[in-house]
Amino acid sequence: MSVCLKGGRLIDPVNGRDEVADLLIYDGRIAGGSAQGPRRVIDVSGLVICPGLIDLRARVREPGAEHKATLASETAAALAGGVTTFCCPPDTSPPIDTAASAQWLNDRARALGGARVIPLGALTRELGGTTLADMAALMRAGCGGVSNGPRAIKDTRVLRHALEYAAGLGITVFLQPEDPWLAHQGVVHEGEVATRLGLAGIPATAETIALARDLMLIEQTGVRAHVMGLSAARSLPLLREAQARGVPVTADTAAHQLHLIDEDIGFFDTHCHVRPPLRAAADRAALREAVRDGTLSVICSDHQPHEPDAKRVVFSDSEPGISAFETLLPLTLRLAADGILPVTAALHRITAGPAAVLGLSNQGLAAGAVADLCVFDPDEEWTPSAQTWTSRGLNTPFLGQTLRGRVVMTLIGGEIRHQSRALPGSPQT
Amino acid sequence: MTVDIEEALARMTDGLRALAARRPLLIGVLTGGAWVAERLHSRLALSEPLGNLDISFYRDDFSRVGMNPQVKPSHLPIGIDGRHVVLIDDVLHTGRTVRAALNELFDYGRPASIALAVLIERDGRELPIQPDIVGVRMRLAAHEHVKLTGPDPLGIKIMEKTD
Amino acid sequence: MIGDIQVDAQGRRRHFLSTEGMSADTILGILDTAESFISVGEREIKKVPLLRGKTIVNLFFEASTRTRTTFEIAGKRLSADIININTSVSATQKGESLLDTVRNLEAMHTDLFVVRHPLSGAADLIARSVPDHVHVVNAGDGRHAHPTQGLLDMFTIRRYKNDFARLKVAIVGDILHSRVARSQIHALTALGTQEVRVIGPRSLLPAAIERLGVRAFTDLDEGLHGADVIIMLRLQTERMNSALIPGAREYFDLYGLTPRRLRQARPDAIVMHPGPMNRGIEIDSSVADGPQSVILPQVTNGIAVRMAILARLAGATASEPKTP
């Protein structure tokens, strides 16, 4: 059976296509021309069809923190956010540092049949930063790359060898730059807000110094690397300079960093407690510019669901992170609405950009591509609330705010896995 | 209704003269009562210093209306233990202000006696409190409110209650 | 973004968490009320019946003799019933038990909490969780705020110096970790102080401190020059162990207030210290006990100012003027 999505606006960031046309799906793939056999026609006029979103960083809290969320709840949340593939960092409990644990996650995700899950394996054993994890075995078990997650590798020699080893095997390393000594006990950006509220600050140099070190070692080892979650304006010239010289490095920022700043913490709003911290308006402006010019080729959700009690505590005791799968698309569309970059380019940062980092085949909406699709209403206004939310974690600073753009349907391999409203459709022959 | 304040003050002065032998301490309730007390003090040419009381901390409607932001310190220049006190207010209406003032006075000591002198006694008592010396008596409707304006010159204003 | 909750939608003050955003009229109103309570404290019977029947819980997660005692005396002089609960954060390691503790006490019909906690934002968190009729007074939270101390310092300054618009006030020491300094700065700027200065080693001056409306100095003599009011802050000895400053001797050399240093200020300058003092580390004994010191009157004033704040919250209050 084939499916025809009729009358939608196709936006294909890979092939630079933006037009109203019918999209035909046959046997899980996008079909060119006319497919044979019985057809189901779904009227998607007024809606946008783009490739399914790919999210490089999302915590599902399994294994180890099932009181916050589960793989089942969060793969459903991913689908509700239009995300068809996402990466799980290895900082679970226990960490993903063996082939068995990566395999377990893959098997479980496949059995659940939600979004596609790509684990990131550990770079060092137990993320301890002293001995290397079995990277080749992790990759064979289905990991998309290796990473030490948020746990800094303090010993530069260990990091050097880890990168060398990965380089030799052609493995992509995901690095989150933060100098643990400068970050110390900090919980917010070091600046006026930290000073006003009496909260310990994390200086921008905690990021730039670690990034400079990482870039030097990436260049020296020649490893293919992806830098996660940049937040500081001063990081971007470093990154630009490295990219200009051909260092094989890409980078992302979290969607919330493009919209929120430290002032949004107001009076101790723990929902704005994130790591790296929300920084100043100038940092946000620089991040937006870097997203526009492609220095940052990826926007990720950095989805981190929490139970309510994790946020109903004193700010410095609260756990950092935002439940963000379901706001990734509207926040990315807002960049286009704000005139930062065209909508096609904005969608590129959450589809083709991350696909390239993961080395996934990247055909967009071309014929023959796997039909992982996101169908969204670009004009629907909605408000995150317990009623409109799928993730187990309702920890978002966007709660109660009006967002524009909502996922209507998510397809994986041509199958509708999520649908938020009825669409006129009928089986036809 | 017109009130001759000078006449009322003269009447009060006469009343107070009868107590002169007891060397009374005059204590006015802030703000209007203190103005009246000042006039009487100078008419009588008393040697004893004048005191005044701010009863804000003793009001019985505190939990309903809250702290009076214009509260002033009470000032009793000499001890009241064993002394004859004349408490002076501008208007005696419900009696609640006098109740509060009596309570406050007893936190300063144990006077030998307390007499109450008021410029205007009106109807509407809610407590068993009666004046010993009165300047003038008035009958007003329940919705009316009489207020002393001052300090110089003293005047009387009758207003409709706003609440 | 969540906003300030100290004042409700009708403009009534429900909590006393920070001096930030407080208008000059609000502050001066509290100071005026405190003047009246000073005279109550000088009477034979130092009690007024204002808060008769109200229950105040002093909830202290951090040791403090002076602040707790002055709140206790303040509450008792207002005829409230006071319960002291001293606990350590280790006993309630997790934040949810902080709110649980509060909920339990609330169930005992507490009208007002006075909270001291080692973490910034603790009083704010509690204020957001209590029902409408319950009030919270912040008696110090982490590095964030100590508003009652801030106001009593304003009270002391006003008693000696009157017009804030003509004053240069210097706050000296560990500004980075000082909740007292933050509360003083907000109050001083709200009152239109001519110049507020902070003086200390760069490593103890917080980032962007100038944005709070102060001038920052690292040289003590320069910062004290022409000052009318000098406020010395306590230096915690653990700052030396965490590489923020070298040691006590060098600190005293550079930032200790000695008679010689004091001569940089105006001859009629007053010297304050929120206590407890480290003699010989931030202040020389001859200055602490000298004629320009108003450190002990600060303590006396603390009771009256806290009475004014408790009375302000516990009775239904008229609306406050909005900050412009």
| Three-state secondary-structure class, residue C313 | helix
Query: Nearest by CB to C3, which of A199, A267, A397?
Result: A267
* pLDDT tens figures, B153-163: 988 888 887 65
Residues C309 and C209 in one domain: no
Asked if residue C18 is part of any domain, the answer here is no
Residue C3 exposed, middle or buried by CB count within 10 Å (0-12, 13-18, 19+): exposed
Does the pLDDT value for residue B30 go beyond 70?
A: yes
* pLDDT tens figures, B72-81: 888 888 889 9
Which CATH number does the domain A52-358 belong to among 3.30.1450.10, 3.40.190.290, 3.20.20.140, 3.40.50.1820?
Answer: 3.20.20.140
- What distance in Å separates the CA atoms of residue A316 and residue C142, rounded to the nearest whole number? 10
For C123, which residue in chain A has the nearest alpha carbon?
A: A314
What is the fold of A2-49+368-380+402-428? Answer: Urease, subunit C; domain 1 (2.30.40)
The pLDDT > 90 percentage for chain A reads 93
- Overall domain count for chain B: 1
Based on its alpha-carbon atoms, the radius of gyration of chain A, rounded to whole angstroms, reads 21
Residues C153 and C259 in one domain: yes
Specify whether the CB–CB gap between C116 and C62 falls below 8 A.
yes
Asked if residue B67 is part of any domain, the answer here is no
| A278 and C CB contact within 8 Å | no
Residues of C in contact with B65 (CB under 8 A): 315-316, 318
Which candidate, A390, A360, A381, A340, places its Cα nearest to that of A82?
Answer: A390
* C and B make contact (3+ CB pairs below 8 Å): yes
Residues of C in contact with A194 (CB under 8 A): 206-207
- Give start-end residues of each CATH 3.20.20.140 domain in chain A: 52-358
Cβ C39–B75 below 8 Å, yes or no?
yes
Smallest Cα distance from C243 to chain A, Å: 12
pLDDT of residue C9: 84
- What distance in Å separates the CA atoms of residue C154 and residue C188, rounded to the nearest whole number? 7
Which residues lie below 8 Å from residue B73, measured CB to CB, with a gap of 6+? Answer: B54, C35, C36, C38, C39
Asked if residue B71 is part of any domain, the answer here is no
pLDDT of residue A35: 56
ipTM here: 0.93
* pLDDT tens figures, A303-360: 999 999 999 999 999 999 999 999 999 999 999 999 999 999 999 999 999 999 999 9
pLDDT of residue A426: 57
Residues C242 and C108 in one domain: no
Specify whether the CB–CB gap between C21 and C4 falls below 8 A.
yes
- Overall domain count for chain C: 2
Asked if residue C7 is part of any domain, the answer here is no
Based on its alpha-carbon atoms, the radius of gyration of chain C, rounded to whole angstroms, reads 19
* pLDDT tens figures, A135-183: 999 999 999 999 999 999 999 999 999 999 999 999 999 999 999 999 9
For B61, which residue in chain C has the nearest alpha carbon?
A: C315
Residues C263 and C305 in one domain: no
Cβ B65–C316 below 8 Å, yes or no?
yes
Neighbours of chain B (3+ CB pairs under 8 A): C
* C and A make contact (3+ CB pairs below 8 Å): yes
Q: What is the CATH number of the domain that holds B27?
A: 3.40.50.2020
The amino acid present at C238, given as its one-letter code, is: E
Bridge partners (DSSP) of residue A418 are A410
Q: What is the CATH number of the domain that holds C281?
A: 3.40.50.1370
Bridge partners (DSSP) of residue A322 are A303
For B75, which residue in chain C has the nearest alpha carbon?
A: C39
* A and B make contact (3+ CB pairs below 8 Å): no
Of A97, A302, A372, A377, catalytic = A302
Domain that holds residue C189: 148-295
pLDDT of residue B73: 86
């002394």: which residue's tokens? B83
pLDDT of residue C324: 41
Specify whether the CB–CB gap between A263 and A191 falls below 8 A.
no
Task: Write out the DSSP string of C15-37.
Answer: -B--STT--HHHHHHHHHHHHHH
* pLDDT tens figures, A411-425: 999 999 999 999 887
Asked if residue C16 is part of any domain, the answer here is no
pLDDT of residue A39: 81
Cβ B66–C40 below 8 Å, yes or no?
no
Smallest Cα distance from C219 to chain B, Å: 42
Asked if residue B109 is part of any domain, the answer here is yes
Asked if residue B54 is part of any domain, the answer here is yes
Within 10 angstroms of residue B139's Cβ, the number of other Cβ atoms is 9
Residues C44 and C131 in one domain: yes
Domain that holds residue B118: 5-60+78-160
* pLDDT tens figures, B76-128: 888 899 999 999 999 999 999 999 999 999 999 999 999 999 999 999 999 99
| Three-state secondary-structure class, residue C129 | helix
Residues C127 and C217 in one domain: no
* pLDDT tens figures, A117-132: 999 999 999 999 999 9
- Give start-end residues of each CATH 2.30.40.10 domain in chain A: 2-49+368-380+402-428
Residues of C in contact with A266 (CB under 8 A): 1-3
| pLDDT tens, chain C, 324 aa long | 678 889 988 888 899 999 999 999 999 999 999 999 998 888 888 999 999 999 999 999 998 888 999 999 999 999 999 999 988 766 655 555 788 889 988 888 899 999 999 999 999 999 999 998 899 999 999 999 999 999 999 999 999 998 999 999 999 999 999 999 999 999 999 999 999 999 999 999 999 999 999 999 999 999 999 999 999 999 987 777 788 999 899 999 999 999 999 999 999 999 999 988 999 999 999 999 999 999 988 888 999 999 999 999 987 554 555 444
> In terms of DSSP bridges, do strands A403-412 and A415-419 run parallel, antiparallel, or are they unpaired?
antiparallel
Asked if residue B65 is part of any domain, the answer here is no
Residue A349 exposed, middle or buried by CB count within 10 Å (0-12, 13-18, 19+): buried
Active site residue A302: yes
Ramachandran angles phi, psi of A148, nearest 5°? -100, 15
Task: Write out the DSSP string of A136-150.
Answer: HHHHHTT-S-EE-TT
Asked if residue C114 is part of any domain, the answer here is yes
Specify whether the CB–CB gap between A255 and A299 falls below 8 A.
yes
Cβ A192–C212 below 8 Å, yes or no?
yes
Residues C266 and C228 in one domain: yes
Selected for mutation to probe chain C from A188, A192, A197 (highest C CB count within 10 Å) is A197
pLDDT of residue B20: 84
Q: Per-residue pLDDT averaged across A267-293, rounded?
A: 98
| A269 and C CB contact within 8 Å | yes
Cβ C36–B72 below 8 Å, yes or no?
yes
Smallest Cα distance from C206 to chain B, Å: 36
Reading the block at residue A393, the tokens are: 């974690």
- Asked if the bond preceding A38 is cis, omega within 30° of 0, the reply is no
Selected for mutation to probe chain C from B53, B57, B107 (highest C CB count within 10 Å) is B57
Q: Per-residue pLDDT averaged across A211-233, rounded?
A: 98
Residue C90: how many CA atoms within 13 Å on its side-chain side? 1
